[in-house]
């Protein structure tokens, strides 16, 4: 069986230098305009924790900070369990790349909380918005030339698609869409992490205008365990995202991700830099 492109992008080698030190390589399959797709980078950061020999439990919270541009090529990851409690564990992760002088430079930082979940009273107060089934929603055309990562996903926008005319007439920042891997792959925490960052910059939709924009920091909360993700399998995920405010160079994006059956799998927030 051929390895899925996403698993190739996630592939890390655990080095012998020290516990929690991994090496990997950026994926041309998930390239964005001037660097790797941020969702893949976030997934790789999480992956170093999931592959760490000391891991306790499953991911609850992930914050990834995009500190600098990532060059095509090799990178190093250091995942460190800074605190292990009875049922929760706290992690820091750093991605570095060698600079022109060969010295490591930090490109990305992350913190991760993992935990052993227990059955408790549960309640979803954020029902999935009503929508036609995926088969009845048109699939988005492949993205702009050179943006490889978009082609790795099947996206079926229900509301708030990428504007077809950039005429400055935008009135809202809400997108809802069905999405899944273009080549089927069972949902897991890494995939859900990447999908949390699949929404194009809200400022483009709100203004129907393209301006330079890039995520600075993203935080994702996982509300599901591995069994619940397993139940989704290769099925669709509904994603919803909108901004609360745009102000002097930065805006936020709040997102929710549901299974097709309506389970709220993850909620995510990011702060995005924009120009003009």
State the residues that interact with its own copies by CB under 8 A.
Answer: 60-61, 63, 65, 67-68, 82-83, 85, 88, 90, 92, 94, 105-107, 109-111, 113, 115, 117-126, 172-173, 206-207, 216-217, 219, 221, 223-225, 242-250, 252, 254, 256, 264, 267, 269, 271, 273-276
Indicate the residue among 164 and 245 with the shorter CB distance to its own copies. Answer: 245
Contacts of 101 (CB under 8 A, 6+ apart): none
Report yes or no: 273 and 250 within 8 Å, Cβ to Cβ.
yes
Tell me the closest approach of the beta carbon of residue 26 to its own copies, in angstroms: 18
Give CA–CA dist 226/214, Å, rounded. Answer: 30
Tokens coding 72: 């095509």
Measured from the CB atom, the residue of 87 and 132 that comes closer to its own copies is 87
**Least CB distance from residue 133 to its own copies, whole Å?**
23
Quote the CA–CA distance of 32 and 70 in Å, as a whole number: 11
Shortest separation between residue 38's beta carbon and its own copies, angstroms: 14
* CA distance linking residue 106 with residue 52, whole number of Å: 20
Strand partners, 264: 258
With beta carbons less than 8 A apart as the criterion, state whether 177 and 241 touch.
no
What does the block give as tokens for 115?
Answer: 């935990």
The smaller minimum CB distance to its own copies, of residues 102 and 127, is found at 127
**How far apart are CB 1 and its own copies at their closest, in Å?**
33
| Distance in Å, CB of 75 to its own copies, minimum | 14
| 68 or 183: CB nearest its own copies | 68
CB of 250 to its own copies, least distance (A): 6
153-159 vs 74-84, strand pairing mode: unpaired
Closer Cβ to its own copies, 124 or 169, answer by number: 124
Q: Closer CB to its own copies, residue 1 or residue 227?
A: 227
Spatial separation of the C-alpha atoms in residues 122 and 128, rounded to whole Å? 16
275 close to 213: Cβ distance less than 8 angstroms? yes
């Amino acid at each position: 069986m051929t390895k899925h492109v996403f698993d190739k992008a996630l592939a890390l080698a655990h080095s012998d230098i020290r516990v929690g030190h991994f090496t990997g390589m950026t994926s041309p399959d998930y390239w964005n305009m001037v660097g790797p797709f941020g969702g893949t980078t976030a997934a790789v950061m999480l992956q170093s924790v999931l592959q760490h020999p000391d891991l306790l439990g499953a991911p609850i919270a992930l914050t990834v900070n995009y500190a600098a541009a990532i060059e095509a090529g090799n990178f190093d990851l250091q995942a460190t369990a800074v605190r292990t409690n009875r049922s929760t564990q706290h992690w820091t992760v750093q991605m570095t790349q060698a600079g022109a002088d060969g010295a490591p430079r930090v490109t990305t930082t992350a913190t991760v909380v993992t935990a052993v979940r227990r059955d408790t009273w549960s309640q979803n107060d954020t029902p999935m918005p009503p929508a036609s089934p995926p088969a009845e929603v048109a699939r988005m055309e492949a993205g702009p030339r050179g943006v490889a990562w978009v082609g790795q996903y099947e996206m079926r926008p229900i509301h708030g698609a990428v504007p077809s005319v950039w005429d400055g007439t935008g009135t809202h920042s809400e997108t809802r869409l069905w999405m899944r891997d273009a080549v089927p792959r069972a949902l897991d925490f890494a995939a859900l992490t990447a999908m949390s960052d699949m929404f194009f910059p809200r400022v483009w939709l709100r203004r129907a205008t393209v301006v330079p924009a890039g995520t600075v920091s993203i935080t994702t909360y996982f509300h599901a365990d591995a069994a619940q993700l397993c139940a989704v399998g290769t099925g669709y995920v509904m994603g919803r995202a909108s901004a609360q405010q745009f102000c002097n160079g930065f805006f936020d994006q709040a997102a929710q991700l549901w299974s097709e059956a309506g389970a709220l799998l993850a909620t995510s927030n990011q702060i995005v830099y924009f120009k003009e």
